[in-house]
Amino acid sequence: MEDLAEEMGGKYHRNPLTLLSRVITVHPLGGASMGTDIATGVIDEWGEVFNHPGLYVADGAALPGPVGANPSLTIAAFADRLAEHAVDAGPVLETQP
């Protein structure tokens, strides 16, 4: 892009966000991230909330941070995987005292 700008008589300016060495997104992510247990996260690898059987998080809150400029497909794939798992797991039956 630098060469192209020079050929066209322009001046190349690097995107300042690239200086951060990490992906930036404007989409709200995180807040209920995955972990191996309740001490390291809110949900397990299937999106189920620890200590709350049958309660799932199937949106960007499950992602620990940016996975790309637009995380829509990653969120959709995660939600699809979660839905298949939840259907396979069947209904959660709780007994009332």
Catalytic residue positions?
27
Q: How far is CA 46 from the centre of its chain?
A: 13
Neighbours of 36 (CB within 10 A): 10
Q: Is 20 helix (H, G, I), strand (E, B) or coil?
A: helix
Distance CA 86, CA 74 (A): 18
- Contact present, 80 and 72 (Cβ < 8 Å): no
